[in-house]
Chain A
Amino acid sequence: MDMINRIKNCKPQFALSMGLFLILMGIQSVIMATTELSLIPKVIITLIPILPLFWAFAIYRRYYLRQDEYMRGRIGEAFMWILGTLCFVSYTYGMLMYKFDVPAVNPAFILPIVFGCHGLVVELLVKRDSHEE
């Protein structure tokens, strides 16, 4: 099987994991809204949508390992950009927190932002390399 087919095989699995995540989020919301739970079941139900995210991460890791050396380099560079931006933004936010009343930010948004922006940065880096000089 060539590289392109090996990479294509990861995409349906990734979509399935995201679909499962959304389904579990829906189930979690319904249960939380309709059922009175004790502490431990409540924690379990709250965190259960994280499971497909672990699966998605494993799929993405496999996808990364199936890339060629050039794409691995761009993916790594994209993560460096995202991690650097995230660190600077969070540090700036923390510094502002010392002196000002800043609006609260839910850390649950970090993961989708990181992965969404990461894909975008990879595309931009590849476009940069293919740009006519």
Chain B
Amino acid sequence: MKNKIKVLRAEQDWSQETLAKRLGVSRQAINALERGKHSPSLQLAFDIAHVFNVDITDVFIPEVSELPVTED
């Protein structure tokens, strides 16, 4: 899942360390999130949106699902 964490962090002029402290996670976690190496849990995703004071959909861009479309 792609995200705009790096952009939003730069807008706030926060370091990875600062954001990590605000979220209560490690700097490595922020680094992995920004590089798309880690998909956050729903709780962490909401927490990230909350610290930037934006909507969750303004931070995360879900990739197109490959699930088959079912006909009901």
B62 within 8 A of A: no
Let me know if A69 and B28 touch, CB within 8 A. Answer: no
| Cross-chain contact of A126 among B24, B28, B33, B40 (Cβ < 8 A) | B28
Find chain B residues with CB under 8 A from A94 CB. none
Give CA–CA (A126, B28) in the complex, Å.
Answer: 7
Number of interface residues of B (CB under 8 A): 15
Find chain A residues with CB under 8 A from B38 CB. 70, 73, 129
| Cross-chain contact of A3 among B25, B37, B44 (Cβ < 8 A) | B25
| Cross-chain contact of A129 among B21, B37, B40 (Cβ < 8 A) | B37
Find chain A residues with CB under 8 A from B33 CB. 70
Let me know if B31 and A130 touch, CB within 8 A. Answer: yes
The main secondary structure of chain A at its interface with chain B is helix
Give CA–CA (A129, B35) in the complex, Å.
Answer: 8
B26 within 8 A of A: yes
Give CA–CA (A68, B40) in the complex, Å.
Answer: 10
| Cross-chain contact of B29 among A2, A69, A133 (Cβ < 8 A) | A69
Of all chain A residues, the one with the shortest Cβ separation from B32 is A129
Give CA–CA (A67, B27) in the complex, Å.
Answer: 12
Find chain B residues with CB under 8 A from A70 CB. 25-26, 28-29, 32-33, 38
With both chains docked as a complex, state the minimum distance between the C-beta of B15 and any C-beta of chain A, in angstroms.
14
B-side interface residues toward A, CB under 8 Å?
21, 24-26, 28-29, 31-33, 35, 37-38, 40-41, 44
Q: Nearest 5 pairs between A and B by C-beta?
A: A70-B29, A68-B25, A129-B37, A129-B32, A70-B38
A-side interface residues toward B, CB under 8 Å?
2-4, 67-71, 73, 126, 129-130, 133
Can you list 14 contacts pairing A with B, beta carbon distance less than 8 Å?
A3-B24, A3-B25, A3-B26, A4-B26, A67-B26, A68-B24, A69-B29, A69-B41, A70-B29, A70-B33, A71-B26, A71-B28, A126-B32, A129-B31
